[in-house]
Amino acid sequence: MSRRKPALTWPRVAAWLWGAVLLACALGLAALLRDGLPADTRLTAMLPEDRQSPLIERADAQLGQSFEDRFVLLLSSSTLNADTHVLAQALTAANGNTNPPWLARLDWRDTDLADQDPRDDLGQYRYRLLTPALRQAIAADGGQSLVEPALRELFSPTGQPQPVTDPFGLLDHWLTFLDAVLAESTVRPRDGLLTLQDDERTYALLIGQLARSPYDLTAQQALTSTIAEFEREHPEVSLLRSGLVFHAATGARQARQEITTIGLGALIGLVAVLCFVFRSPRVLGHMLLPLVGGVLFALPITLLLFGRLHLLTLAFGASLIGIAIDYALHVQCHRAVQGTAFRLRPLLPGLTLGLVSSLLAYLAQALTPMPGLRQMAVFAALGLLGAWLTVVLWLPRLTSPAHPFTDRLSRRLWQLTMPRRRLPPRLATLFAILLVSLVAWQLEADDSLRLLNPSPASLLEQEQQVQRLMGSNTGNRYYLVTAPSEAEVLSRLVALGATLSRWQQDGVSLRYTNLADSVPPPEVQQANLARVRQLYGEPLTTLLERAGLPTRLAEQARQTLHDAPVLDVSSWLATSAGQGQARLWLGATDTRDASEKEPRFAAMLPLTDVDASLVPRLERLAQTREGVSYVDRVERLSGLLGQLRQHIAWWVAAAVAGLALLLAWRYRRWTWRVLAPPLGAILGVLGILAVAGIPLNVFSQLGLLLVLGIGLDAGIFSVEHARRAETWLAISLSTLTSLLAFGLLAFSATPALHYLGLSCLIGLALVWLLVPWVRPPDGANVKEPR
């Protein structure tokens, strides 16, 4: 007996150690959640990182930043003024109910957007800032034609004459020019409100600046609940909304609903199936124990690794219900049929290989450059590992009753589903060739970003309508301009703007915002100063004489030209008029050529109202200009999704090749019987998608990764225990519970989860249908020589 004691002690010690690990995880989870679950609702977390273009990543983030923290409401009603006041006061009151506040600023009165007088900021630069009209006038006659207008302005009752600092009103001309350049909306003051006009309808405009992230759940709840209550109390009011916070709130609400419906639905279905099969509440508790162990192990470690938990990870983690219980199903089904003769050792090879195959499938997902998907993969992989350890270390030590119905059910299921004949290899090969041909000929791919957008069509329509009315430029298309110096960046922007301006004059539908229109390059400013010196010669003397002013003022005015500073970008962006263009300037960057010692500078030139037919022309323009790149944010990210889809395909092929070598080491000539269910199911899914006209996307492809892992598990056990009815019952229950978890994702309103679930729904059903046809012949087992 003393020799057997270590064999009995080690499993007990391992079980206690695992219990200590789970206890530590529980305590760590409690500490992490003491201030609530750090949740992340950002859909952008699903996007891939473009490590090859960090400057473009930075430009994208900066262009979108000013829109991320802002929301816009357009209100239309018969009592516009009164209703606008009610809504503004409701938002302000809701902001006061939270600490810290979620709303930094709310602009809705005609005085809210009144800026500081730009004359205070730009007065010292007036001699270097000339409008195109002034430059042409000075070049034509030295500026004599400007004397008469300046004379009228000097004696105008409403004028503000400055005979020394600005006798020709250069700054006023420049500010008028800026107003035309910077005007991007049709906002007009009316009856104390900010308004927009659309045909016969007038909208009141409310612009909110968030004090918190648009993904902050408190900010989302406060804003959406206040608006919802206002709409209930004012059903006659028409309200349009725009802003990332509304899309984030929709995504968060949808994720919470799906966590409840999908997770709860899978759990209810799982409990019903297990109660029907095993007829014991105690067995049900034992079967759910691995799920608890898996979640308890995965959740705190995932939070430690990523800091926050994406709500889509929780929705996806609901599928863990279907997989984590697979190992327990095999143990319990064999125990229920074998009774006291049950031993865990014969099941260990299959359980271990099943775990390894599933972990490899998740590893391929964890290697993707998408933070959200990596988090999902890590959470699921840790959960499976925790479930496996719970099954292996704890379940054999728990006494579990075996109901005779389980044995009868397994035998009946075997009799009803096992085929009488074998599938002829030639017929199977022919069918596979036909499927491959169909997939190659008919299947298409879809890498659209709509896969990441769960927002309803009504919200997207409101967003587009608000942007149209405001004429806002979201920067989805832009030119990225880089150069070794700030001055050269501005020069390249000027040249680019000149070409685009000529296109506009030729009738091309296009709008753009050019930072160089506000901050001329230094050489242009120097040329402007030279023109002003020419203007302050004879034309200035003539002006003062005709105005009857002392001629000594001319010399005083000329003295002011000596200290005229150059307007640089940072000085312009610090002014009240220039703050709105801060998103266009990246400044010094850490990207440089090998020959450059100093950092490069970069700026963006956003484009809007771009017709699709104009895109090739815009691309060619960038190709012919040094330091200019054309960026289409939507197309670029779609392209990254396409690259990701291709990378996943290669990872799947590599995983299958690696698994084939591993499986061949144990199963040799029967390896194909293990691989046939998952690979056949994947091919079947692709064929069905091709016939149904459903394009393949990265998320349906990730679903196929899960089919591969679960299908390999079924193939392994069908070969390990080919003639055992209890094995087939466990495979069937495993497939059914996985269908409950993953199949329910097909009903998700989030496109990403929907396509993942659809692939799993079809693929897992095909796995179950294929396993009986490819299992080894009766009388054979894996230990027989091959």
Which pLDDT does position 361 carry in this prediction?
Answer: 66
Among candidate residues 547, 535, 548, the one with its CA nearest the CA of residue 144: 535
Other Cβ atoms less than 10 A from the Cβ of 212: the count is: 19
Q: pLDDT above 90 covers what percent of the chain? A: 30
Q: How confident is the model at residue 218 (pLDDT cuts 50, 70, 90)?
A: confident
Report whether 297 contacts 291 (CB < 8 A): no
pLDDT tens by residue, 483-503: 999 999 999 999 999 999 999
222-231, 250-259, 495-504: least confidently modelled range = 250-259
Residue 327 Cα distances to 21, 333, 350, 390, 409, angstroms: 20, 10, 9, 9, 19
User: What is the chain's mean pLDDT, rounded?
Assistant: 83
Which pLDDT does position 786 carry in this prediction?
Answer: 36
Q: Exposure pattern of 13-50 as b/e (b: 16+ CB <10 Å)?
A: eebeebeeebeebeebbeebeeeeeebbbbbbbbbbeb
Q: What is the mean pLDDT of residues 744-764?
A: 86
21-30, 92-101, 177-186, 493-502: least confidently modelled range = 177-186
Among 582-591, 601-610, 647-656, which range has the highest average pLDDT?
601-610
Other Cβ atoms less than 10 A from the Cβ of 186: the count is: 12
Which pLDDT does position 6 carry in this prediction?
Answer: 45
Q: Model-level pTM?
A: 0.73
DSSP H helices, 394-485, are 404-417, 425-442, 457-470
Query: What do you get for the CA distance between the two ends of the chain, in Å?
Result: 38
Identify the bridge partners of residue 310 per DSSP, sorted by sequence position: 40
Among candidate residues 543, 538, 539, 536, the one with its CA nearest the CA of residue 557: 536
pLDDT tens by residue, 520-575: 999 999 999 999 999 999 999 998 888 888 888 888 889 988 888 999 999 999 88
For residue 702, give both structure tokens. 């990730």
Which pLDDT does position 625 carry in this prediction?
Answer: 93
Which pLDDT does position 622 carry in this prediction?
Answer: 94
97-111, 187-201, 235-249, 492-506: least confidently modelled range = 187-201
Could you give the CA distance from residue 380 to residue 777 in angstroms, rounded to a whole number? 35
Which pLDDT does position 98 carry in this prediction?
Answer: 82
- Is pLDDT above 80 for 719? yes
Which pLDDT does position 740 carry in this prediction?
Answer: 83
Query: Given phi > 0 = left and psi -120 to 50 = alpha, else beta, which region is 660?
Result: alpha
Instruction: Pick 357 or 126 by higher pLDDT.
Output: 126
For residue 489, give both structure tokens. 């960046």
Q: What is the mean pLDDT of residues 69-85?
A: 91
Q: What is the mean pLDDT of residues 177-187?
A: 69
Q: Where are the beta strands (DSSP E) in 487-566?
A: 511-512
Could you give the CA distance from residue 222 to residue 210 in angstroms, rounded to a whole number? 11
Q: How confident is the model at residue 325 (pLDDT cuts 50, 70, 90)?
A: confident
- Is pLDDT above 60 for 662? yes
Q: How confident is the model at residue 231 (pLDDT cuts 50, 70, 90)?
A: very high
Q: What is the mean pLDDT of residues 36-61?
A: 65
Which pLDDT does position 683 carry in this prediction?
Answer: 93
- Is pLDDT above 70 for 676? yes
Report whether 383 contacts 317 (CB < 8 A): yes
- Is pLDDT above 70 for 120? yes
Q: How confident is the model at residue 613 (pLDDT cuts 50, 70, 90)?
A: confident
Q: What is the mean pLDDT of residues 283-310?
A: 86
Question: Could you tell me which residues come within 8 angstroms of residue 773 by beta carbon, excluding any fewer than 6 positions away?
Answer: 419, 422, 423
Could you give the CA distance from residue 238 to residue 198 in angstroms, rounded to a whole number? 13
Which pLDDT does position 190 carry in this prediction?
Answer: 83
Q: How confident is the model at residue 785 (pLDDT cuts 50, 70, 90)?
A: very low
Burial label for 241, CB within 10 Å (0-12, 13-18, 19+), is buried
pLDDT tens by residue, 417-447: 888 777 777 887 888 899 899 998 999 888 8
Question: Could you tell me which residues come within 8 angstroms of residue 331 by beta carbon, excluding any fewer than 6 positions away?
Answer: 344, 347, 351, 391, 395, 396
- Is pLDDT above 90 for 690? yes
List phi, psi (to 5°) of 183. Answer: -65, 115
Could you give the CA distance from residue 284 to residue 266 in angstroms, rounded to a whole number? 15
Which pLDDT does position 728 carry in this prediction?
Answer: 92
Q: How confident is the model at residue 784 (pLDDT cuts 50, 70, 90)?
A: very low
- Is pLDDT above 70 for 219? yes
pLDDT tens by residue, 79-100: 999 999 999 999 999 988 888 8
113-122, 313-322, 633-642: least confidently modelled range = 313-322
- Is pLDDT above 50 for 412? yes
Question: Could you tell me which residues come within 8 angstroms of residue 145 by beta carbon, excluding any fewer than 6 positions away?
Answer: 137
